[in-house]
Amino acid sequence: MTLNLGNWLGMSGVPCVLMYKQIPTSMLTLFDVDPILSNRLTALSLWTIMQTMGVDAISERIFMAFDSCRQMHEMLSKIEGVKIWSKSPRQEAGKSFRALLNSPINYCILFESAIPVV
């Protein structure tokens, strides 16, 4: 499972983040090449972007991504032929997820209050 930070931050050239990798069950030998270990350092571009933008700019980009999801949900819910299978957002979700992101974060509550993918 990977997370594409380029879509979240609106910047090209940001690497994908690996969230989960299945551990191989076979025994590794000295001559086996692990793709994770043989890849070049991709976190350097992400670190550079985070240092350049700063916490406030990155938070604002994430807020804009959540706001665009909310607007997309509102537009699609008005179209008669489109059925939305995800749950409807709560009314206070718009203000509450900003407060959650600006405080110490419980990610389960943050993604529960945000609009799901339509």
pTM of the model: 0.48
For the stretch 24-82, pLDDT in tens is 666 655 555 555 554 555 666 767 777 888 878 877 887 887 788 788 888 888 888 88
pLDDT given for residue 25 in this prediction:
60
**Residue 26 domain-assigned (yes or no):** no
**Residue 44 domain-assigned (yes or no):** yes
User: Which H, E and C letters describe 27-96, residue by residue?
Assistant: CCCCCCCCHHHHCCCCHHHHHHHHHHHHHHHHHHHHHHHHHHHHHHHHHHHHCCCCCCCCCCCCCCHHHH
Number of domains the chain is built from:
1
**Residue 15 domain-assigned (yes or no):** yes
**Residue 29 domain-assigned (yes or no):** no
**Residue 27 domain-assigned (yes or no):** no
**Residue 38 domain-assigned (yes or no):** yes
Domain hosting 13: range is 2-21+34-113
